[in-house]
């Protein structure tokens, strides 16, 4: 009798552990750990950087590595990712112009997947929006400074590697924010 009870308890505990594991795993998006995705992001970003003459300006706000590892900036970086997908990478989808970015067609679906995987875990807290607001202000100012929105967007594409690195560091499996 006691043994049966122990066995049931053991199974029960086992199930708890497993389901906790499954929940944590869902907070990690697969493309973040995929070396092909990393490589494609790098190739695309380097191409954009090579066309960029302004080495002073930075659009994505700097986040310290301590802050990245804390785990509470994942959703803030996801908001920036969302903006990239809606306003920057989609605008460059046309292959008609001089702005044809290599690997963009591979990077986009992977980034869409990251956004889709992580978005459900993010509620729109005010704190999450601050980094996005800083980014969009920087982007707007750069466009005004260059008198050319396309150049500012090119700079943003050149920072995709920073964004991806931030997502990789901040959206850990154990992160819940
Ligand atoms: C803006 O920049 C792009 C890329 O550098 C260039 O091709 C385009 O001619 C520029 N547009 C204007 C209005 O200067």
Task: Please check whether residue 46 lies inside any domain of the structure.
Answer: yes
Q: Is the CB of 150 under 6 A from ligand 1?
A: yes
Task: Please check whether residue 86 lies inside any domain of the structure.
Answer: yes
- The Å distance, Cα 151 to ligand 1 centre, comes to 7
Domain count, the chain: 1
Angstrom CA distances, 82 to 44, 52, 53, 114, 171, stand at: 18, 23, 26, 10, 15
Task: Please check whether residue 11 lies inside any domain of the structure.
Answer: yes
Q: 135 and 80 in contact (C-beta within 8 Å)?
A: yes
Q: Assign 99 a pLDDT band (cuts: 50, 70, 90).
A: low
34-83 tens-digit pLDDT? 999 999 999 999 999 999 999 999 999 999 999 998 868 999 999 999 99
Task: Please check whether residue 9 lies inside any domain of the structure.
Answer: yes
Q: What is the pLDDT of residue 91?
A: 67
Cα 93 from Cα 111, distance rounded (Å): 14
Domain membership of residue 131 as a residue range: 2-170
- Which of 147, 148, 154 is the pocket-test mutation for ligand 1 (most atoms within 8 Å of CB)? 148
Is the pLDDT confidence value at 135 over 50?
Answer: yes
Q: What is the pLDDT of residue 25?
A: 42
Query: Nearest C-alpha to atom 11 of ligand 1 is from which residue?
Result: 148
Query: Nearest C-alpha to atom 1 of ligand 1 is from which residue?
Result: 148
Q: Which residue has the tokens 């869409």?
A: 112
Q: Which atom of ligand 1 is nearest to the CA of 97?
A: 7
Of 126 and 160, more confident: 160
Task: Please check whether residue 177 lies inside any domain of the structure.
Answer: no
- Six-digit token string for 160: 């995709």
Query: What CATH number is attached to the domain comprising 116?
Result: 1.20.1250.10
Task: Please check whether residue 175 lies inside any domain of the structure.
Answer: no
Task: Please check whether residue 176 lies inside any domain of the structure.
Answer: no
- The Å distance, Cα 168 to ligand 1 centre, comes to 33
List, in sequence order, the alpha helices (H) in 51-148. 65-70, 74-83, 104-118, 126-146
Cα 100 from Cα 93, distance rounded (Å): 8
Task: Please check whether residue 70 lies inside any domain of the structure.
Answer: yes
Buried b (16+ CB within 10 A) or exposed e, 38-48: bebbebbbebb
- Where is mean pLDDT largest: 68-72, 107-111, 173-177? 107-111
């Amino acid at each position: 009798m006691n043994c049966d009870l122990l066995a049931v308890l053991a199974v029960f505990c086992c199930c708890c552990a497993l389901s906790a594991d499954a929940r944590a795993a869902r907070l990690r998006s697969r493309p973040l750990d995929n070396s092909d995705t990393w490589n494609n992001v790098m190739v695309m970003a380097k191409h954009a950087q090579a066309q960029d003459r302004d080495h002073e300006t930075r659009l994505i706000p700097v986040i310290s590595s301590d802050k990245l590892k804390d785990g509470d900036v994942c959703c803030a970086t996801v908001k920036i990712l969302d903006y990239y997908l809606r306003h920057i990478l989609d605008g460059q989808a046309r292959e008609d112009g001089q702005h044809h970015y290599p690997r963009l067609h591979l990077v986009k679906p992977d980034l869409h997947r990251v956004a889709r995987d992580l978005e459900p875990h993010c509620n729109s807290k005010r704190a999450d929006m601050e980094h996005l607001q800083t980014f969009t202000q920087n982007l707007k100012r750069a466009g005004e400074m260059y008198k050319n929105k396309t150049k500012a967007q090119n700079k943003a594409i050149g920072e995709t590697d920073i964004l991806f690195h931030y997502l990789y560091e901040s959206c850990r499996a154990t992160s819940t924010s």
